[in-house]
Structure 1
Amino acid sequence: MDFKVLGFLLCILIGKSVASLRCYACGFNSMDTDQSCLTITNTTHTVECPYTYCTILRQEFRDPAGVVASFVRGCEEDPAFLNHDVSDWTFHTYYRACTSSLCNTGDGIQSVVGGNLSPRPQFEGSNLLVPGTGGAAPGSGYTTFMLLMSFIVTFRALK
């Protein structure tokens, strides 16, 4: 095979698109006095994003309701959620993501638009948050071992 063709195919398989994505990038938390990140202006910082998504994460306290605890505009490869809201006892968190340059505008409450996002249609249900144990369930290794031993004993008995 011609090395030029092989090189071309390799570039197609391995290479990434050279199209550049620009995102607004700023943030603050409830202790900061400068909350200018909430509103996009001509001076809002932008970055060249090497990833797929421009994002907004807005976290509000549940009590007092509507007070912003933290707010971040940025750039991510694999955001936790695309356009979704999550609530717990302390916070109401808005996750927003889009794939067009400078699309992470708005207050973070409304879904952002721009680019080819999934899931479509947009998920309108609710999530049940269940705290994990940080690893496998207790005793799962023992259970696997016992199942394996039972299989071996049964297999030998059938011989």
Structure 2
Amino acid sequence: MKVNLLIITAALYLPHVAANIMCYTCVSTLDDRTCIDDPQKVALSSPITNCSMECCTVTRQEYIEDGSIASFSRSCQNNCEKDGVYKYPDPTFLTYFTYCRSPLCNEGDGTENPDGGQGDKSREIWGIKGKSSCAFVSPSISTLLLIMALLVLP
């Protein structure tokens, strides 16, 4: 019984530990705004990155004075905040950090919540957003702890 429980637990959690996420990765320059305006076009000229990281990101930095873009990039990273857009102003810049965890979700201009990479509501059921390519609901840490406790108990 305990061996079966251990196998089931490993089967549920292993895909989440080893999973990669597809993200747009590009940088816009003053001369080329393709990364900002059309990340899908950038993806046609260079491959979309299969990141072995926790989430996709968008980083946008604007000058406070006139709102023009100082820097812009799409990437992936570990140690991400909760999905969403975070604004950090300082005397010179307003910096936006966007974090999301579904494939190709790091599109958009970096000032609004990502829509999950499809530009529509294809991952919503009755207005409840979900993850793409998700065959089951991700098990929680409390579930893992419960199963581990059952394995230890006599």
Calculate the TM-score normalised by the size of structure 2. 0.59
Aligned with 1:37 (options 35, 38, 43): 35
Change over 3 Å in CA distance of 1:101–1:10 after alignment to 2: closer
Distance of 1:105 and 1:19 partners within structure 2: 20
Once the two structures are TM-superposed, the CA of residue 77 in structure 1 deviates from its matched residue by: 1.0
Other-structure match for 1:104: 106
Structure number with the higher helix fraction is 2
Distance of 1:26 and 1:36 partners within structure 2: 9
Using CA pairs under 8 Å that are at least 6 residues apart, name the structure with larger relative contact order, 1 or 2: 2
Q: How many residues align?
A: 113
1:8-62 Cα distance to aligned partner (Å, 9 max, x none): 5895699453443100100134xx4112111225432310011121110100011
Other-structure match for 2:20: 20
The gaps in structure 1 that reach 5 residues or longer are 118-159
Q: How does 1:133-144 map to 2 (within 5 A)?
A: none
Determine if contact 1:98/1:113 at 8 Å carries over to the other structure: no
Distance of 2:39 and 2:87 partners within structure 1: 25
The gaps in structure 2 that reach 5 residues or longer are 117-128, 132-154
Q: Mark the structure with the bigger radius of gyration.
A: 1
Does 1:57 pair with 2:59?
yes
Change over 3 Å in CA distance of 1:72–1:22 after alignment to 2: same
